[in-house]
Amino acid sequence: MPRSQPNCLNPQADRSSWMPPLDVQDMVVRLEGEGITDAVASADFGYSSTWVMARHWYPGLSRVEAWPIPQERGKPRWQEFLKGISFALPLALCAAAMVLLAFSLWGGDLPADLASAVAVGTVGSFVVSGGTVQAMARRGRFYFGIKEYLNCAQSCRNWFWAGLSMLSGTSLAFLVLNVYFGWFPTSLALQAVAFHLSLGLLWLAAGLLYMLEANLLISAAVLAGIACVGGLHFTLGVALLSAQLCGILLAALLSLILAVLRLRDFCRKETTALRSQDLGKILYLSWPYFAYGTLYYVFLFADRLLAWTVGKPADALPLTFRGDYETALDIALFAFVLLVGWVHVATVDFYEKLNGAQNTYSSDQTRQFNQFMVRYYVGKLLGFVPLAVASCVCVFAGAIYVGLYERPAIFHTGMWALAGYAFLVVALYNVSLLFALSRPIPVLYSILSALVVDVVAGYLLSRLVGYEAAVGGFVVGAVLFACLTTYSILVAFSRLDYWHFSTAA
């Protein structure tokens, strides 16, 4: 007889999840899962091997009735929805400030040349820091999930400095190339670099807080930055660009301090020693997420760049900032924020349904399990349609009511941007599921294909119809992004039992 009975042989050990074994092989897997090798079976339990031990215990345990498995109930759905919204809330606050106050952390009532320089710096900050933020969050959440907080802090520190290095390197490269090609006057080039560096620092600091799931702290820092801009510019008479740089640096500094303090609190709970991290392994595991973060922001801004380069005289700046085009996209961003909340709720629902299905279907019912989850996924997408239509209609009607869509360019651009954002949300939902299943390569194929279509269609439409038609490239790209990721999800779900098991393992 064994000295102490393993949990896998004791139905009383865990009444919430114990199920009778299917066969002797299942018994062997359970025993080995608890570390009972042949040597342990012999030394501690008196059996010559794990197989002998399994054959001895299986007949009695196979007749034991399974305990009913209660379904865990998470947070109320409205809380999950607000948590999802909080991811995009900082950008929504900036867009709201721009629409209502005519200024934000960046942009505003600026001369065309200054607005163009700020636009270049802003887009560059997103593109250059986007990949680092994705990789930093992915690695950080891994260490955070296994409660290795010192390794989490070390990983975030390394990625943060790597991000700063890339921001500095791209700034220097831009200044050198600008001297050779003469894109901008030196003063404008320095303005672009200033916004590139300061906003990039803000996104890196915000990425740390996102990794720690402290999304509301980012919004608080952004609000403080916007308040700083307003106070310096309207109260003290500081030039708008200087005030904005101060506001951005304040928001970045607050975000960084809050992230460091929260990480320090977690590190104080650490019980394991700091492990050395293999750089080659980290890069191998992280490059798909880094590439996705970079490509995503190139995709998001491609139509803007195409619109800003329409009708450029030979002796003018390389691009002309289109305020009405940007205003239309800022308005549509409000619908995007609402729909992003659905992504988080739908992802939480999916995993609750997945866990329930695992407890419902046995290991020899993988086909039924996969089909059930496919039906659930398709039903979730169909349920998203009325929410997307309602959100877009409400934002569109509200913009018309307050007179934001009076100009034809804003009206048409905003209408199509709303449609594009709805499809983009579907794609982001698919991306969250594919990343959770450690399937980043299909995501890269999808975003790269969408980017190519976005650029080709946006270029042709903007040149043949007008700069406001560049949004058509974004819409077509978003539709393709959603369709390709949906196809990848359906392919993965045909073997969901395997992918989920391999991810958990």
What is the per-residue pLDDT for 16?
46
Per-residue pLDDT reduced to its tens digit, 145-186 = 778 888 888 999 999 999 999 999 999 999 999 999 888 999
Q: Is the pLDDT of residue 93 over 90?
A: no
Give pLDDT tens digits for 430-471.
999 999 888 899 999 999 999 999 999 999 999 999 889 999
464 is written with which tokens?
């043949």
pLDDT higher than threshold 60 for residue 403? yes
| pLDDT value for 67 | 44
pLDDT of residue 409: 76
Q: Which distant-in-sequence residues (6+ apart) come within 8 Å of 494 by Cβ?
A: 370, 374
Question: Which residue shows structure tokens 């398709």?
Answer: 378
pTM: predicted TM-score of the whole model, two decimal places: 0.82
Helix 186-211 × helix 215-230 angle, to 10°:
150
In this structure, how many other beta carbons lie within 10 angstroms of the beta carbon of residue 318? Answer: 15
Strand partners, 108: 103
DSSP output for 116-166? HHHHHHHHHHHHHHHHHHHHHHHHHHHHHHTT-HHHHHHHHHHHHHHHHHH
Tell me the per-residue pLDDT of 35-92, one tens digit each, with 9 for 90 and over: 777 777 777 777 888 888 878 877 766 555 544 444 445 567 767 777 777 778 888 8
pLDDT, tens digit, 9 for 90 and up, residues 187-235: 999 999 999 999 999 999 999 998 888 888 999 999 999 999 999 998 8
Q: Kindly report the average pLDDT of the chain as a whole number.
A: 85
Q: How far is CA 127 from CA 134, 157, 262, 291, 299, in A?
A: 11, 20, 27, 10, 9
